């Protein structure tokens, strides 16, 4: 039987997965690499490290199956930018989405005329490609002058595999250089940022072939040369595809290092967005997304600060429920996007009193991170989206007690997805489409890993605590 390989080039690790002709996972592997921060606020990646770990992950995943692989699909972290010279050599470390060095450049873009910003249909935040390129123009003009083409991380990986430069709509729509109404690069924004139009790659369809596996890469990966490789998807769009969500109204909560609420919509009306993103998905899919920066990152920060293992965290928070002792936790360890759009937001425990100890502080961490989801969902509902339940996915959503707390806090049923590798599965599905096994995104097998609904329980004290949570950030902000 033919098999299809998906490769997901994430922020801190690369994942590889093989699926069979029925879309069932056969094997998987992952390898980690660091995010480098040479100065406070910087978040950079080294493509050489990405490639080395991709080779390792593919070897581990495909051992014994290499001859069966008929197609390859890609997904990857969004927003980042890899500048290359005319020989396709990397000119500097990639600037990644968590990077917040660009406060000045964000201000410059916000000052642009509304006619330039309106078609972008996205808020202006640090880490997006347009902002990073403007920073390069202001701070590294010699590097920008040498830049022949600038690629997203996933598109850079496809270049290594095929020798071809291209992008596709989902990644392009995340650059802040894409006209959502016209479905193409925004010439007005490109001029405003001060880069050359030919610095951006051509846009092809996500399911189209981005080339075939070239001999040198094939030998390194231990795979046959000539395997077709799909153009690919940004990770959130690949997650939607892997979950089989291709129809308007579907809503997904993805919990990982960051958290995202994604709702599919039937049309886009470009406007100046207050906090949420509007992106292209696979085929005709469009979706609104509230991106919260502080999911697993806030958990890890709090865990380190309190000297707690993950077992300690769950035990203290839920066995038995210790309450929060009146404490609130603001989880903004890395600033925040949705719904605050405040890169300077910071974390804090507040309102602690006698009787509030380590267990109560840990419980407040879980509640505070759940409150950020509620805050974003309430704000998204004001834009006209609605849902009768959320699919709950991601490596940070596996514990049933945490799932129940999310449902109780957001007051919406949650339907967990058992398999956490949905972006990688989505990439593998693209491999099956480009190989001709499936006709298109509507021909994919039905996802069989979706669990039963988790019905929310009513806890009036959570609603009251949520009101305090929202007010506390805003009060601190005014100081």
* DSSP result, 105-151: HHHHHHTS-HHHHGGG-S---TTSHHHHHHHHHHH-HHHHHH-SEEE
Residues 228 and 249 in one domain: no
Share of the chain above pLDDT 90, in %: 77
Residue 367 phi, psi dihedral angles, 5° rounding: -65, -40
Residues 458 and 338 in one domain: yes
Q: What is the pLDDT of residue 421?
A: 62
Q: Across the chain, what does the average pLDDT equal? A: 93
pTM of the model: 0.89
Contact 349, 357 (CB under 8 A): no
Share of the chain above pLDDT 70, in %: 98
Q: What is the pLDDT of residue 289?
A: 93
pLDDT-wise least confident of 16-25, 49-58, 215-224, 384-393? 384-393
We report the CATH number of the domain holding residue 225 as 3.30.420.40
pLDDT tens, 149-159? Answer: 999 999 999 99
Residues 400 and 377 in one domain: yes
Residues 148 and 261 in one domain: no
Q: Which residue has the higher pLDDT, 104 or 446?
A: 104
Is 427 among the domain residues? Answer: no
pLDDT tens, 30-89? Answer: 999 999 999 988 999 999 999 999 999 999 999 999 999 999 999 999 999 999 999 999
Is 410 among the domain residues? Answer: yes
Closest CA to 341 of 349, 332, 350: 332
CA distances, 84 to each of 148, 151, 159, 234, 429 (Å): 6, 8, 11, 20, 29
Residues 255 and 137 in one domain: no
pLDDT above 60 for 105: yes
Q: Among 210, 236, 262, identify where a domain stops.
A: 236
Residues 25 and 170 in one domain: yes
Any idea what DSSP says for residue 43? Answer: -
Residues 75 and 177 in one domain: yes
Q: Among 192, 218, 236, identify where a domain stops.
A: 236
Q: Among 236, 255, 273, identify where a domain stops.
A: 236
Supply the range of the domain harboring residue 61. Answer: 3-236
Domain count, the chain: 2
Residues 192 and 290 in one domain: no
pLDDT tens, 206-261? Answer: 999 999 999 999 999 999 999 999 999 999 999 999 988 878 889 999 898 889 99
The stretch 355-376 carries a mean pLDDT of 94
Residues 371 and 472 in one domain: yes
């Amino acid at each position: 039987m033919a098999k299809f390989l998906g490769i997901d080039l994430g922020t801190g690790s690369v994942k590889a997965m093989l699926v069979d002709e029925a879309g069932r996972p056969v094997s998987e592997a992952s390898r980690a690499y660091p995010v480098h921060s040479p100065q406070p606020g910087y978040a950079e990646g080294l493509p050489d490290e990405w490639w080395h770990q991709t080779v390792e992950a593919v070897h581990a995943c495909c051992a014994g199956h290499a001859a069966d692989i008929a197609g390859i699909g890609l997904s990857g972290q969004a927003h980042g930018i890899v500048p290359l010279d005319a020989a396709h050599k990397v000119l500097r470390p990639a600037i990644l989405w968590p990077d917040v060095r660009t406060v000045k450049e964000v201000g410059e873009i916000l000052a642009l005329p509304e006619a330039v910003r309106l078609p972008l249909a996205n808020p202006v935040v640090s880490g997006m490609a347009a902002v990073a390129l403007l920073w390069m123009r202001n701070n590294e003009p010699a590097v920008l002058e040498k830049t022949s083409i600038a690629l997203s991380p996933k598109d850079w990986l496809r270049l290594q595999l095929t020798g071809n430069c291209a992008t596709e709509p989902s990644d392009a729509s995340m650059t802040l250089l894409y006209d959502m109404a016209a479905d193409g690069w925004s010439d007005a924004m490109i001029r405003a940022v001060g880069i050359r139009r030919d610095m951006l790659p051509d846009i092809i369809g996500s399911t189209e072939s981005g080339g075939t596996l070239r001999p040198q890469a094939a030998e390194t990966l231990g795979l046959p040369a000539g395997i077709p490789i799909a153009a690919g998807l940004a990770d959130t769009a690949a997650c939607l595809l892997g979950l089989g969500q291709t129809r308007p109204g579907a809503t997904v909560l993805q919990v990982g290092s960051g958290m995202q609420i994604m709702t599919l919509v039937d049309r886009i009306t470009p406007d100046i967005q207050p906090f949420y993103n509007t992106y292209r998905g696979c085929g005709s899919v469009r979706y609104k997304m509230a991106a919260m920066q502080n999911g697993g990152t806030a958990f890890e920060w709090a865990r380190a600060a309190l000297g707690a293992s993950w077992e300690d965290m769950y035990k203290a928070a839920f066995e038995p429920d210790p309450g929060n002792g009146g404490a609130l936790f603001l989880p903004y360890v890395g600033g925040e996007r949705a719904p605050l759009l405040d890169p300077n937001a910071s974390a804090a425990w507040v309102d602690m009193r006698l009787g509030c100890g380590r267990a109560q502080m840990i419980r407040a961490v879980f509640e505070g991170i759940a409150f950020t989801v509620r805050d974003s969902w309430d704000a998204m509902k004001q834009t006209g989206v609605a849902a009768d339940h959320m699919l709950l996915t991601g490596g940070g959503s596996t514990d049933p007690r945490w799932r129940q707390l999310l449902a109780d806090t957001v007051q919406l049923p949650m339907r967990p997805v058992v398999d956490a590798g949905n972006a990688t599965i989505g990439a593998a599905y693209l491999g099956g489409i480009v190989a001709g096994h499936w006709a298109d995104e509507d021909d994919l097998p039905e996802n069989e890993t979706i669990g039963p609904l988790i019905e929310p329980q009513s806890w009036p004290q959570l609603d009251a605590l949520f009101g305090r949570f929202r007010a506390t950030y805003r009060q601190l902000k005014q100081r």
